[in-house]
Structure 1
Amino acid sequence: MKPVRIFRHIACEPPGYLGDFLRARGIPFEVVCIDEGQTVPTDLDGVSGLVFMGGAGSVHDPHAWIAEEIALIRRAVAEAVPVLGVCLGGQLMSVALGGEVTRAPAMEIGWHEVRQVPGAGARDWLAGAPERFTAYHWHAWTFSVPEGAERLLASDCTDNQAFALGPHLALQFHLEMTAPMVNGWVRRYGGDLEDAHPCIESAALMTRGLAQRLAALHRVSDAIYGRWLEGVVDARAARSRRA
């Protein structure tokens, strides 16, 4: 199987549990470290899917790689190469598909519940996940759902938590978290926690019972990552038939 190509935008936001999930299933993957100056590869023939991780800032920042990744997402969608976007990656997907990214009403940080939005898309994509589950968040921006895509998840803090278009999935929240990542973000971005707001958890609350929280999160991760991988396999088979 051709590898899944994962784009890392900042060292503290690696594939995390997504890498563990892929390794456990024998799925090869490669990581493009944009934060280390690696260029955005434009070849799609050598990959089975693309993943765009989170990062600091927003899609509106003046980095050349942002426009390059947006263009690559458009090409991947046109050529039926499945795309998965996480937080900033989901925002890149929204813009690539004609949506918008704007400031959220408030930052959403920590463990907050998300709920399925009634519809066929959510029933399909989230069949293996609970109707409501607690996910991990750390974002100040929010994406709109592009025309033709279907909204899957919402939270009290952010209306649009996920959308899907064919085999492509955008998430505003983080399924890939590990204990070192949570603790590292608290240390690195602790200044974001100073505002008193219902959508911002304190560091103490965020790290309490962390092992149990992550175990529950990863059960959801397995379901959603597994559904995305089904699309990767189906798309690969379809491309092989056309070749």
Structure 2
Amino acid sequence: MRVLVVQNYQDTGLGQVGRALEEAAATIDLRQPYLGEILPEGDSGHHALVVLGGDQNALADDTHPYLPTLARLIKRFGDSGKAVLGVCLGSQLVARGYGAENILGRPVEFGWHEVTGTDEASSDPVFSAVPRQFPIFHWHSDTFTLPEGAVHLARSAKTPYQAFRLARAVYGIQFHFEADTGLVDHWTRVFHDQIVDMQADWLTDYHTHAERHGAAADAAGLALARAWVALI
């Protein structure tokens, strides 16, 4: 199993998705186009695609000219029947690749917050692996409309479209289910100044938040990761 992973920003690793891929003995082909690395022209060399988050928005073609190519590549994988996973910015690029609208500059949704599955989630091969409601880590302001034909899978208090599926196994997931407490702890250090500017009180109370929500979020995130990897 060979999986193409597209990283769009520093320190945004695979987290729990990486653990699930390792359990499945997958070979990971990591590309960092934000550093100038070249994306494949097609899907023939890979069985699945993961597109991770980033600080840029999904329409930032002037500063990140590879984004249109990546959006087309996402659709190429999906149209070939292969599993695709877009997380945060990745989900916004899945939406773009399938013709939905990217909505920029909304209020920030940050920290551990509840998401709620839709009625369709209970029969979905990935979201049926988790409870109807669970806490999970968020860090985004942009969002999207649902692509035509998408199955709406989850929402939160601030964001109506937190997750969707297209076709057999193309998933756009806005929240950071890959970010277990270890990765979130890493982010509190490497992105400390950004968090202080955005939500200083949260950082002050970080350990309380982590103790309250971390274990349940970690369990849900790993279950989602394993269920998606099983679709490859």
Q: Does 1:37 align with 2:40?
A: no
Tell me, in whole angstroms, the C-alpha distance in 1 between the residues paired with 2:112 and 2:187: 13
Offset of 1:91 from its aligned partner? 0.1
Q: Does 1:217 align with 2:217?
A: yes
Tell me, in whole angstroms, the C-alpha distance in 1 between the residues paired with 2:97 and 2:122: 22
Q: Name the structure 2 match of 1:168.
A: 170
5+ long unaligned stretches in structure 2: none
The alignment partner of 1:231 has SS state of coil
Tell me, in whole angstroms, the C-alpha distance in 2 between the residues paired with 1:55 and 1:174: 11
Moved more, 23-32 or 93-102: 23-32
Q: Deviations over 1:177-214 (max 9, x none)?
A: 14453234334254455457xxx971133443636744
Q: Name the structure 2 match of 1:92.
A: 93
The alignment partner of 2:37 has SS state of coil
Tell me, in whole angstroms, the C-alpha distance in 2 between the residues paired with 1:228 and 1:141: 24
| Contact residue 153 and residue 164 of structure 2 kept, 8 A | yes
TM-score, structure 2 length as denominator?
0.88
Offset of 1:126 from its aligned partner? 1.5
Q: Could you say if the C-alpha distance between residues 17 and 118 of structure 1 is closer, same or farther in structure 2, counting changes exceeding 3 Å? A: same
Q: Name the structure 1 match of 2:3.
A: 4
TM-score, structure 1 length as denominator?
0.84
Q: Could you say if the C-alpha distance between residues 118 and 206 of structure 1 is closer, same or farther in structure 2, counting changes exceeding 3 Å? A: farther
Q: Name the structure 2 match of 1:237.
A: none
| Contact residue 107 and residue 138 of structure 1 kept, 8 A | yes
| Contact residue 42 and residue 73 of structure 2 kept, 8 A | no
Q: Deviations over 1:53-85 (max 9, x none)?
A: 000120111221101101101211221121100
Q: Could you say if the C-alpha distance between residues 163 and 122 of structure 1 is closer, same or farther in structure 2, counting changes exceeding 3 Å? A: farther
Q: Which consecutive aligned stretches of 4+ in structure 1 deviate over 4 angstroms post-superposition? A: 192-196
5+ long unaligned stretches in structure 1: 233-243
Tell me, in whole angstroms, the C-alpha distance in 2 between the residues paired with 1:132 and 1:123: 15
| Contact residue 179 and residue 210 of structure 1 kept, 8 A | yes
- Aligned CA-pair RMSD: 2.2
